[in-house]
Structure 1
Amino acid sequence: MVDLDRLARERTDLTAAEIAHLHLLTADWTLLSDLSFSDLVMWLPTWNDAGFVAAAQVRPSTGPTVYPEDIVGMFAAKGRLREVERAFHSQRVVRNRMSPDSLLPVGTEAIPVHHDRRVVAVIARRSGLSPREAGELERTYRQIADVLCQMTADGQFPHQGMQDSSTPPRVGDGMLQLNAQGVVTFASPNARSAFRRMGVMSDLTGRLLEHEVRRLAARTGPVDEAIGVISSGRGAGSVDVEVGEVTVSMRSIPLITTRVRSGALLLIRDVTDLRRGERALLTKDNTIREIHHRVKNNLQTVAALLRMQGRRLEDPSARAALDESVRRVSAIALVHETLSQTDADSVEFDRVADRLVAMVADLGEEVTVVREGQIGTLPGSIASSLALVVAELLQNAYEHGLQAEGGGQITLAVERRGRRLRVSVIDDGAGLPAGFAPESHARLGLQIVQTLVRDDLKGSLSWEPGAQGRGTTATIDLVIPGR
């Protein structure tokens, strides 16, 4: 699939900074397309001056398209895009009036894109609307679009930091036009509706918007200075205005004519339901983290009670059974502790693995336990099962591989490639007994491992003897579930 970045790197001599500027422009040019009721196509000059290549295009949501098919990647040899070439060399906006030999439809405008005193691209703009008498809304849209196009040609649009909202308003959500003094000269119906929901029942036209917005925002407490900057049109950016239970997002784009700020375009969107949903989701996330925290505390309490009970037992086998239970409960508690400290239902499993390694290393000074490789983030749905499996295999390597040998090394080796994960527990101890078969030799610990690997992790478990008959390698292969 071709895209702007790839075409710019492979077909042009543009610098990284110039390509970044084009990305900044395409991130915001839906606004220009909607205001113009026009398709936009970005043409880049090729490195060998042989012609131009179409690197990006956008269709308007406010009118019909003139390019029903994608043309990104199309190459036009020199002489086929005369208006684009004229705009590129003259560094001025050029309109196609009567050029039937051009690849561009009649009526196309070619707008040079300036960056750091150099033309780096040309935008072809063409509307699919048939000629007719336009209403006030359409005339205002087109007037602002013409100003933004000239700002693009002058290298004054877009600005860094303009796309700073996760939910930026669009033209159809609501629009205000301000003059240089910050007075509203035009308000679209949707913008008026948004302000009515905040309590402004009269017409905004002719009013100083900053004064109105500050008055509304003051009802809920101190007014953020950014509200004044945005609502007056003095600076580019976005801000939310909360009035009671209503939240309205405002985005300001200063309009510059002959290098002087002549006014501003403000995009307005009622985001009350959206913000309410975000707050509900945040509350849900906090609740889930609190649940994980309490589960962790409860599991640690259970482990402490089992540990206390084990100290009272005189039967070594009963005490060993309780010690194993303490270890299993503690392994699960580690996962819940990690989940209680994250915002997502995922676990940085390397932290859990390091804690499991430390638990086994504490069993004896003669035992060295190391981890090799990175596991990364795993879904919470498999983290608990994998933690318990790893804990069992590490404990098994110590008890049946190293304890009788007086010590040695255990290695937790992990390898992750995309969604495929391989986890191996390697020891240099006594090795597998003769005729070892997991099904017939499986004690409770190995039965737990086999069940979890098969049913929860949907993976496989294999056993191999170490080099020269020393040691054992237990390997788990699984595919990490996708989201």
Structure 2
Amino acid sequence: MKEEIERLCQKHTDLSRKEINYIKQISLSLPFLADTEEADVFINCPCPSGDSVVVAQAKPRNASSAYRKYILGMFARRLNEPAVDRTLRLGCATRRMKALNQENVPVIQVATPIRYEGKTIGVLTYERFADGWEDGQPFHELFGGVGRNTECDAEKCAARTDWEWVVNCIEEGIILIDCKGFVIFRNAIARQLYKRLGYMEDILGQEYRNICLDKMDMEREAFTEELQMGRYSLRIRKIPDPMEGVSFAVFVSDVTHIKNQERELVLKSVAVQEMHHRVKNNLQTIVSLIRLQVRRIENLQAHELLEETADRIQTIATTHQLLAKKGIDWVSLQEVLGVIADNAIRANKPEQKEVSISVAGKDCMVNSNLATTIALVVNELIHNSLEHAFVGKTKGSIRIRTGKEMDLYGTVSVEDDGRGFDVSRPGHLGLNIVEVLVKEKLRGSLTIASNKNGTHTSFGFQI
């Protein structure tokens, strides 16, 4: 049998030598499994065409076989043997699915995936006769006496046309199961969903234990859970005794698109985090280069200008550092301003002066562009206060306050209790930078009021 398996796999499949050897090992147990289960047992391996080929077979010695001869090398067509096809496509087991074998005999199939290093390389299939199935008889009449000779609750349920249109419009699969464990109703969404999961025939009239997706006990109470079937993510809810004649109802939702979006968000978060981390590193490299240059400059004015430039770049880097930690493109405005305030105190605190900076008000989330611009503006305002407002004083305070109006408009104010300045005089470079950033980048307005008791500066921006 081993030589035949290798020949068939090399001829009809793309399996590697290691995968073929693994199939050979599995095949050694087929005779034992056939006798134990009293069923025909096969190994099917996938072909590039989408069908599968039978590479190993064993017939039961103590029970009737559904095959007159051996079918090694024959192809299992997707429509004829849906259990094999479903298991190959989804990589999960399929229980008691009806099929037509290669000799056109109706059988019941149980298929289990054969995996090697995480890849489905074949299917181990058990087959038995589908006793009692007559030519032309619908598949859903095969089991449990649910058919032409038995009164079925499905007929009663199908007569409820006054509400059936409603459940067919719901974007959730609905299945009703009677006290005998048979499916007596399924809406259009459930029919389509099960078809995508590989159940080619209608589930109406089948035993629920043959088509249940969560392997649950039939006596299990109400529950909600999520499970993965191949590439599909499903959410399942069970409700016991929902109405007369119904043992329990099962609601199935395909949430694959939601899970895919969640995965995409995670990947995007990682990408955004890495982007901000790299920007932060590059900016800090620039700051280091500027400060190295500062040490070589003897001109005091040039020295101060370069230090201010390095400080502004460091402010941008600090914002990107916060965004890198969050892994998203939005960040708390108060968190950004708190870090800016701490850095400003450490870098610019005048000697022998006690100056405190506080951040309060209504917080809001801002994107990276807004966060960077606002951080630059506030950094300039804090720097100006620390440098000019407290001359002749031993202590002082700077209060930063944030606000938000209807989630559309944000405000920031910076107020100190310093000596004030003449607002009408031509502005310092720092104030010129503030005015340009507020008007050009934030599309807002800047207000400055100052007297001998201090300076109050405020600006707004669109969130």
TM-score over 0.5 for the alignment? yes
Where does residue 337 of structure 1 map in the other structure? 321
Would the aligned equivalents of 2:354 and 2:396 in 1 still touch at CA under 8 Å?
Answer: yes
1:418 equivalent among 397, 405, 427: 405
Going from structure 1 to structure 2, the CA distance change for 1:351 and 1:176 (only over 3 Å counts) comes to same
Q: CA deviation at 1:382?
A: 1.6
Q: Matched residue of 1:314: which SS?
A: coil
Where does residue 230 of structure 2 map in the other structure? 244
Where does residue 389 of structure 1 map in the other structure? 377
Going from structure 1 to structure 2, the CA distance change for 1:170 and 1:326 (only over 3 Å counts) comes to farther
Q: Write the deviation string for residues 9-56 of structure 1: whole angstroms up to 9, x where unpaired.
A: xxxxxxxxxxxxxxxxxxxxxxxxxxxxxxxxxxxxxxxxxxxxxxxx
For 1:55-70, list aligned pairs within 5 A. Answer: none
1:379 aligns with 2:379: no
**Matches of 2:428 and 2:157, distance apart in 1:** 81
Q: Matched residue of 1:458: which SS?
A: coil
Would the aligned equivalents of 2:272 and 2:328 in 1 still touch at CA under 8 Å?
Answer: no
**Matches of 1:431 and 1:276, distance apart in 2:** 57
Structure 2 portions without partners, runs of 5+: 1-154
Q: CA deviation at 1:460?
A: 1.9
Would the aligned equivalents of 2:287 and 2:314 in 1 still touch at CA under 8 Å?
Answer: yes
Q: CA deviation at 1:453?
A: 0.7
Instruction: Give me the identity figure in percent.
Output: 28
Q: Matched residue of 1:306: which SS?
A: helix
Q: CA deviation at 1:320?
A: 1.6
Q: Matched residue of 1:296: which SS?
A: helix
Where does residue 176 of structure 1 map in the other structure? 175
Where does residue 305 of structure 1 map in the other structure? 289
Q: Matched residue of 1:441: which SS?
A: coil
1:293 equivalent among 273, 277, 298: 277
Q: Matched residue of 1:341: which SS?
A: helix
Going from structure 1 to structure 2, the CA distance change for 1:418 and 1:462 (only over 3 Å counts) comes to closer
Where does residue 478 of structure 1 map in the other structure? 460
Q: TM-score, normalised by structure 1?
A: 0.55
Where does residue 74 of structure 2 map in the other structure? none
Q: Write the deviation string for residues 213-263 of structure 1: whole angstroms up to 9, x where unpaired.
A: 45xxxxxxxxxxxx445x8583444433322223333332222569xx952
Going from structure 1 to structure 2, the CA distance change for 1:181 and 1:335 (only over 3 Å counts) comes to farther
**Matches of 1:136 and 1:206, distance apart in 2:** 12
For 1:334-373, list aligned pairs within 5 A. Answer: 334-342=318-326, 344-362=328-346, 363-364=348-349, 366-373=353-360
Going from structure 1 to structure 2, the CA distance change for 1:280 and 1:310 (only over 3 Å counts) comes to same
Going from structure 1 to structure 2, the CA distance change for 1:321 and 1:275 (only over 3 Å counts) comes to same
**Matches of 1:170 and 1:340, distance apart in 2:** 44
2:438 equivalent among 453, 457, 462: 453
Where does residue 268 of structure 1 map in the other structure? 252
Q: CA deviation at 1:140?
A: 7.9
For 1:130-209, list aligned pairs within 5 A. Answer: 136-137=157-158, 139=160, 142=163, 171-180=170-179, 183-209=182-208
Going from structure 1 to structure 2, the CA distance change for 1:389 and 1:315 (only over 3 Å counts) comes to same
Q: Matched residue of 2:228: which SS?
A: strand
Q: Write the deviation string for residues 262-306 of structure 1: whole angstroms up to 9, x where unpaired.
A: 522222333334433443333223322321222222222222332
Going from structure 1 to structure 2, the CA distance change for 1:179 and 1:286 (only over 3 Å counts) comes to farther
Q: How many residues align?
A: 303
Going from structure 1 to structure 2, the CA distance change for 1:138 and 1:464 (only over 3 Å counts) comes to farther
Q: Write the deviation string for residues 364-420 of structure 1: whole angstroms up to 9, x where unpaired.
A: 351312214224123214211111100000001111222x42543231231525245
Would the aligned equivalents of 2:334 and 2:402 in 1 still touch at CA under 8 Å?
Answer: no
**Matches of 2:178 and 2:161, distance apart in 1:** 13
**More displaced stretch, 179-188 vs 375-384:** 179-188
User: Structure 2: which amino acid aligns with 1:476?
Assistant: S
Structure 1 portions without partners, runs of 5+: 1-133, 146-168, 215-226
User: Structure 2: which amino acid aligns with 1:247?
Assistant: S
Q: CA deviation at 1:462?
A: 2.3
- Whichever of the two has the greater Rg, that structure is 2
Where does residue 398 of structure 1 map in the other structure? 386
Q: Matched residue of 2:266: which SS?
A: helix
Q: Matched residue of 1:459: which SS?
A: coil
Q: Matched residue of 1:327: which SS?
A: helix
Q: Matched residue of 2:421: which SS?
A: coil
Going from structure 1 to structure 2, the CA distance change for 1:171 and 1:429 (only over 3 Å counts) comes to closer
Q: Write the deviation string for residues 293-333 of structure 1: whole angstroms up to 9, x where unpaired.
A: 22222222222332333233332222222221222112112
Q: TM-score, normalised by structure 2?
A: 0.57
Going from structure 1 to structure 2, the CA distance change for 1:378 and 1:421 (only over 3 Å counts) comes to same
Going from structure 1 to structure 2, the CA distance change for 1:312 and 1:171 (only over 3 Å counts) comes to same
Would the aligned equivalents of 1:253 and 1:266 in 2 still touch at CA under 8 Å?
Answer: yes
1:437 aligns with 2:424: yes
Where does residue 318 of structure 1 map in the other structure? 302
